[in-house]
Amino acid sequence: MPTPVTLIPGDGIGPSIADATVRILDAAGCDIAWDRQVAGMAGVARWNDPIPDATLDSIKQTRVALKGPLETPVGEGFRSINVALRKTFDLYANVRPARTIVPGRFENIDITLVRENTEGLYIGVEHYVRIGDDPRAAAESVAIITRQGSERIVRYAFEYALAHGRKKVTLVHKANILKYSQGLFLDVGRMVAREYEGRILFEERIIDAMAMHLVMRPEQFDVVVTTNLFGDILSDEISGLVGGLGLAPG
């Protein structure tokens, strides 16, 4: 029987990317029954809803989804559909590998970034603050880090390292400044790391230093684990080391 998979072509160049991917999978002999659904601007155009119930129901049934890029309005409009999907299905681990395919500026890069995907600054707890007659005089965003969320993402990184024959996990943080939220993430990371002593090496890097070391000696890194915002930024930087966002998933 064919394997049912939800296909969300996406917006912009998304349908072209999705169609090319489907052709590749067909050529590889994958027996897949695609259930085409919409989200993002395509969902608004068809159902006046950026994330229609039919799309969510399909993913709940198939438990596998292939998704093209989805448009998110800047500064206004609906929130990111990617964030909504992560919250709906508790997709806490965003695993982003980057390997050197064609040698260029760097060689021998083989880094997997494990990004916590449901907490941190991207959790979306924010509001405006009225000052005098200005209702939007200031804006406040809250970064939420939990012990449970930190433990499961760090443990995921170590288990990934074991399962894939990796040697080292690097935890990236900013606990020197954000002593409570990032401090909790670092403390939990150290606790989990002790369980893997003798099997997986462990190191810590502050985010700004990590960004510098990635463009100086990226080959020294193996598996990297970090919080949501830092993971978003570093994953783009790492993909740039091997040719760009389009080449990394390829």
Task: Record the pTM.
Answer: 0.84
Distance CA 242, CA 109 (A): 7
* Strand 120-131 with 168-173, pairing: unpaired
**Pick from 19, 88, 202, 103: nearest CA to 7:** 19
**For the chain, which residues make up each domain, given as ranges?**
1-90, 92-250
**Pick from 57, 70, 64: nearest CA to 15:** 70
Looking at residue 244, its pLDDT comes to 80
CA dihedral of 85, 234, 17, 50, whole degrees rounded to 10: 30
92-250: CATH topology:
Isopropylmalate Dehydrogenase (3.40.718)
Confidence of residue 44 (pLDDT cuts 50, 70, 90): confident
Tokens 């209702």 locate to: 135
Does the structure show a pLDDT above 90 at 178?
Answer: yes
Does the structure show a pLDDT above 60 at 208?
Answer: yes
- If you average pLDDT over every residue of the chain, what do you get? 92
DSSP-derived letter for residue 73 is: -
Give the pLDDT confidence of 63-106 residue by residue, as tens digits: 999 998 887 665 455 567 787 888 889 999 999 999 988 877 88
Give the pLDDT confidence of 184-207 residue by residue, as tens digits: 999 999 999 999 999 999 999 999
